[in-house]
Amino acid sequence: MTLAILQHAFLAEIAADDALPPSSAGMAIYRNAYRGRLSDALATGFERTRRWVGEEAFEQAAAHYILTHPPHRWTLDLFGEAFPGLLGTLFADDPEVAELAWLEWQLQQAFAALDAPVLTATDLAEASLSEEDWARLRFIPAPGFAARQVDCDVVTLWPLLQDEAASSAPARLPESGWLIVWRQDFSPHYRLLDPAEGAALVALAGGASFGEVAARVGADGLQQFGAWFAGWLAEGLFSAMELT
Amino acid sequence: MTGTIPPFSGFGLGLRKEHHEAFLTAQQPVDFVEVISENFMACGGRPLATLEAVRERYPVILHGVSLSLGADQQPDRAYLAELKTLARRIDPLWVSDHLCWTGLGGHNSHDLLPVPYTEEALARCIRNLTIAQDVLERPLLIENPSSYVSFPGSTLSEWQFLAELSAATGCYLLLDVNNIYVSSVNHGFDPLDFLRGIPTDRVRQIHLAGHSHGPEGMLIDTHDALVPDPVWQLYASAVERLGPVATMIERDDQIPPLADLLAELAEARGLSERVPA
């Protein structure tokens, strides 16, 4: 048996479900270790989501994820990256589950995201930009920046789950908002934005120029856009600017 | 790849996050600390800042778990690049990983899987370790893992395999004395044969740890308990053969208060001093 055949068979056996019993006590140890390590990674990575859905439901979802999403990165820290998406499918009638899991995942990603400087209002003032420059200006988001649309008030639910399970479901938002996550200094932050502010920020953080976003907002909204932008700078939402 | 790692003797601990604050607020009685490389690769924020602050106070060893030296495929170049970046930043005493494979074809088990001790596997390990050492521009330390299965096709003992690997690549060895003991029980060999069979001049570090009992009389390398008597006895035999060598307590789970680990480390220090040179 070649090394390649041996290793493919070994991996298949430890990752198989219980319909295929392990071939020896030793292989059972490897299978248990494989499942245990991945299960622990999800349980610690999604601690508050676990509290929200309950231990049994969480473990069923985790077992399904382990079978259907074998880890493929060199770091175990990224194993759970598709878990919020799977929860969205498994808990289709409870959208807060996937939204909560997304928030939990992104906060952890932001915590350890690569370092970058913070772009400040002073940096912009010192750049002496012309009106044409401003129109072409693009911004690089802060470490760990992520955004998604949410339908539930998970920002109210989040702190309630710090130590124990919460009892009542979060309120549905009157209209979909934007939940953002980023890191400032060493601390991950999150904030719920109304649809208009969220759309503008997501466009700017996604690579649209300042002029393009201003055009989308329209003349009537320019003053509001300016106020949002000043707030984003104060929150440290950008790490750099580019003139392209 | 050329390069040597001069001998370094001392006593250290595997640094776990539960003890980060204690190591940063007071000077602890250790000669070095060892961290898991992957916990600090491709990251920033508080984890990296903490490691850099620790590095200002203590020599640091980078101990990896994802090189996958024994896989039937070449090492992940992106992984090696991230490890090199971290090593340049931290300037470690040395960089280590395991005689194992962790995955194949895009499926990573995140476990230290056993290598068959065959000429084919040895050739893969030599090729992969040579690539890794060339990219990292330094010789590595390779550790013996615990194992729970053996392969009928093996033609070498684990110690012969390690000796051949070291001779061919110039790598050094990290002896996990607990793992030697666990594998000796699981596979029925004399752990002293292991100690007699490895090239003593290539050993630069020893790990000490505990284990647990599994099915069918097997031992499991859980690294979650006190160093047990048989491992202490084997450690004494190792020190007798090797002389002074960097030794550390490696606890990966059920992390106790730091004082407990320091007490275990003091025991290792005392035992090492009592062993005749």
What is the rounded average pLDDT of the residues A88-116? 97
Instruction: Give me the amino acid identity at B251.
Output: R
Using an 8 Å Cβ cutoff, are A203 and A214 in contact? Answer: no
Contact yes or no for B38 and A75 at CB 8 A: yes
A106-132: per-residue pLDDT in tens? Answer: 999 999 999 999 999 999 999 999 999
Class of domain A94-244: alpha beta
Q: Please tell me the distance in Å from B168's CA to the nearest CA on chain A.
A: 20
Report yes or no on B7 lying in a domain. Answer: no
Please tell me the predicted confidence (pLDDT) of residue B187: 97
Tell me how far apart the alpha carbons of residues A39 and A33 are, in angstroms, rounded to a whole number: 10
Contact yes or no for A71 and B107 at CB 8 A: yes
A73-86: per-residue pLDDT in tens? Answer: 999 999 999 999 99
A14-57: per-residue pLDDT in tens? Answer: 999 888 899 999 999 999 999 999 999 999 999 999 999 999 99
Nearest CA in chain B to A12: B107
DSSP A56: H
H and E: helices and strands count for chain B = 9, 12
Reading the block at residue B161, the tokens are 């395999």
Question: What tens-digit pLDDT sequence spans chain B (277 residues)?
Answer: 568 999 899 999 999 999 999 999 999 999 999 999 999 999 999 999 999 999 999 999 999 999 999 999 999 999 999 999 999 999 999 999 999 999 999 999 999 999 999 999 999 999 999 999 999 999 999 999 999 999 999 999 999 999 999 999 999 999 999 999 999 999 999 999 999 999 999 999 999 999 999 999 999 998 889 999 999 999 999 999 999 999 999 998 899 999 999 999 999 999 999 887 6
**Residue A21: its chain B contacts at CB < 8 A?**
none
DSSP A170: P
CB-nearest partner of A186 from B45, B110, B149: B45
Beta bridge partners of B248: B12, B207
Please tell me the predicted confidence (pLDDT) of residue A163: 86
Using an 8 Å Cβ cutoff, are B20 and B54 in contact? Answer: yes
* CB atoms inside a 10 Å sphere around CB A236: 19
Residue B70 belongs to domain spanning? 36-274
Instruction: Give me the amino acid identity at A27.
Output: M
Q: Which residues of chain A does CATH 3.90.930.50 include?
A: 94-244
Q: Please tell me the distance in Å from A84's CA to the nearest CA on chain B.
A: 20
CB-nearest partner of A186 from B46, B76, B148: B46
User: CA distances (Å), A183 to each of A122, B48, B213, B271, in order?
Assistant: 20, 14, 44, 47
Confidence of residue A169 (pLDDT cuts 50, 70, 90): confident
Please tell me the predicted confidence (pLDDT) of residue B266: 97
**Residue A73: its chain B contacts at CB < 8 A?**
108
Contact yes or no for A71 and B118 at CB 8 A: no
Intra-chain end-to-end CA distance of chain B, in Å: 33
Please tell me the predicted confidence (pLDDT) of residue B110: 97
Q: Please tell me the distance in Å from B124's CA to the nearest CA on chain A.
A: 9
CA geometry: angle at B161 spanning B157 and B166, to 5°? 150
**Residue B161: its chain A contacts at CB < 8 A?**
none
Domain count of the fold of chain B = 1
Q: Please tell me the distance in Å from A162's CA to the nearest CA on chain B.
A: 19
Using an 8 Å Cβ cutoff, are A218 and A122 in contact? Answer: no
Please tell me the predicted confidence (pLDDT) of residue B3: 87
The runs of H, that is alpha helices, within chain A are 3-15, 25-45, 47-53, 55-68, 83-90, 95-111, 121-126, 131-136, 154-160, 195-205, 210-217, 222-234
Report yes or no on B43 lying in a domain. Answer: yes
Contact yes or no for B45 and A73 at CB 8 A: no
Report yes or no on B113 lying in a domain. Answer: yes
Contact yes or no for B148 and A26 at CB 8 A: yes
Contact yes or no for A15 and B109 at CB 8 A: yes
Using an 8 Å Cβ cutoff, are B113 and B102 in contact? Answer: yes
Report yes or no on B27 lying in a domain. Answer: no
What is the rounded average pLDDT of the residues A195-222? 96
For position B238, which CATH number holds?
3.20.20.150
* CB atoms inside a 10 Å sphere around CB A72: 12
* CB atoms inside a 10 Å sphere around CB A172: 12
Report yes or no on B26 lying in a domain. Answer: no
Q: Please tell me the distance in Å from B126's CA to the nearest CA on chain A.
A: 14
Using an 8 Å Cβ cutoff, are A232 and A238 in contact? Answer: yes
Residue A167 pLDDT exceeds 80 = no
Report yes or no on B15 lying in a domain. Answer: no
Please tell me the predicted confidence (pLDDT) of residue B2: 63
CB-nearest partner of A72 from B106, B216, B218: B106
Residue A105 pLDDT exceeds 70 = yes
Q: Please tell me the distance in Å from A96's CA to the nearest CA on chain B.
A: 28
CB-nearest partner of B120 from A2, A24, A73: A2
Beta bridge partners of B36: B63
Report yes or no on B153 lying in a domain. Answer: yes
Lowest mean pLDDT among A66-70, A170-174, B182-186: A170-174
Which residues on chain B place their C-beta less than 8 Å from a C-beta of chain A? 38, 41-49, 66, 71-72, 76, 78-79, 101, 103-111, 113, 116, 118, 120-121, 124, 147-149, 151, 153, 186, 214-216, 218, 220
Report yes or no on B5 lying in a domain. Answer: no
